[in-house]
Amino acid sequence: MSEIALSALPDLSGVAVRQQSAAKRILKRLTPFLFVAPALILVLFWVYRPLVQTFGLSIQMWNMNPNVEPVNVGLQNFQYIFTHPDFFQAVWNTFLYILLMLPFSVILPMAIAIATNRLSSRAKNIYRAIFFLPMIMPPVACSAVWRWLMHPINGLFNHLLTSMGVVEEGVRFLSDENWVLLSIVLIAGWKMIGFSTLMFSAGLTGIDPSYYEAASVDGHKKWRQTLTITLPLLSPTIMLMLMMSVLMTAQWTFAYIDVLTQGGPAGASTNVYYLLWTYGFKNFNSGLSSAAAVVFFIGFGILALIFTRINRKVAFYDN
């Protein structure tokens, strides 16, 4: 544009130069935005637009039928979810899921990663591949196999438990309200160990080996090295996995709840996302679903904020 302007107006070179520099300046400022524009537009369209829409839907009653006009109901949807027990049950269950998931997403993977870190690279890879394998298996197929393993009469687990005399009658892993949540955590945890181990392994690779050499020269024992070098330098990874685990457990467990228990018995295994899904896509009540989504969005947002604050204080970065 500016070039054409230049050639068309050769006499007013001074003005043109000034114009050119102004245009160039603007272009220069715009360039970075142009580069991120495709990503930005996609994010705006696929993340922020639905987010805003969710807020809108949460104050309406609508069955998602395009021929039906949504009815504005104000805060009625919020009133419904806060006065009915299934919401609180889902929140409490989600809390339990998060708590019980931590050993599988943080503690065990960290132990595995540290334990296999000093092995020869081939042995290390084999071990880690074994742990990673569940991650790449499709959840629905896994669920079917776990259901057979956990079957109260025909299942392998109960066969072993009864033949060893641990229990007299088969444990109803998926239909006993005291067991079902634990069973789902076990399955989802088994699946997540691989991913977390991989993350911790990556964290370990980033630690400069010269620290260990120095510590060895000083005569520090292995466990002491782990405690004083590995753990502090791994703290960013630990914090990251902790945050991911807390924020994502409800999603990680979703597929297994859906296939194995549908949230039952009597809501004992449901979680916040499954509740959302039931409201929205089983009962076709987008208002309740969105209202619950708004509440969870705010809740998880606050959690994320707290985590980033803690992260700044606790995590130690080795520059």
Rounded to whole angstroms, how far apart are CA atoms 291 and 82? 10
Q: Is 152 in the site for another protein (CB under 8 A)?
A: yes
Q: Is 172 in the site for another protein (CB under 8 A)?
A: yes
DSSP letter for 60, please: E
- What count of other Cβ atoms lies within 10 Å of the Cβ of residue 229? 18
Q: Which is nearer to another protein, 43 or 68 (CB)?
A: 68
Q: Is 53 in the site for another protein (CB under 8 A)?
A: no
* Closest CB 257 distance from another protein, rounded Å: 12
DSSP letter for 135, please: G
Among 273, 278, 291, 292, binds another protein (CB under 8 A): 278
Q: Which is nearer to another protein, 80 or 200 (CB)?
A: 80
Among 134, 139, 236, 264, binds another protein (CB under 8 A): 264
Among 6, 23, 86, 186, binds another protein (CB under 8 A): 86
Q: How many CA atoms lie within 13 A of 88 on its CB side?
A: 6
171, 152 Cβ separation under 8 angstroms: yes
Q: Is 65 in the site for another protein (CB under 8 A)?
A: yes
Among 63, 72, 125, 308, binds another protein (CB under 8 A): 63
Contacts of 279 (CB under 8 A, 6+ apart): 285, 288, 289, 292
Query: Which span sits near another protein by CB under 8 A: 48-56, 114-122, 160-168, 171-179?
Result: 171-179
Measured in whole angstroms, the distance separating CA 58 from the mean position of its chain's CA atoms is 24
Among 57, 58, 59, 62, binds another protein (CB under 8 A): 62
* Closest CB 36 distance from another protein, rounded Å: 23
- β-partners of residue 60 are 72
* Closest CB 134 distance from another protein, rounded Å: 22
Among 23, 64, 161, 215, binds another protein (CB under 8 A): 64
Q: Which is nearer to another protein, 168 or 218 (CB)?
A: 168
Rounded to whole angstroms, how far apart are CA atoms 280 and 277? 5
One-letter identity of residue 163: S
One-letter identity of residue 246: V
Burial pattern 149-184, b for ≥16 Cβ within 10 A else e, equals bbbeeebebbeebeeeeeeeebbbbbbeeebbbebb
Among 153, 156, 214, 305, binds another protein (CB under 8 A): 153
Rounded to whole angstroms, how far apart are CA atoms 154 and 173? 12
The answer to whether the bond into 139 is cis (omega within 30° of 0) is: no
**x/- site string to another protein, residues 215 to 244, per CB under 8 A?**
------------------------------
Q: Is 84 in the site for another protein (CB under 8 A)?
A: yes
Q: Is 262 in the site for another protein (CB under 8 A)?
A: yes
In the three-class reduction of DSSP (H, G, I as helix; E, B as strand; rest coil), residue 253 is classed as: coil
Q: Is 175 in the site for another protein (CB under 8 A)?
A: yes
Rounded to whole angstroms, how far apart are CA atoms 128 and 29? 47
Please give the size of the binding site for another protein, defined by CB under 8 A.
37
List of residues contacting another protein (CB under 8 A):
61-68, 80, 84, 86, 147-148, 151-154, 172, 174-177, 260-262, 264-267, 278-279, 281-285, 288
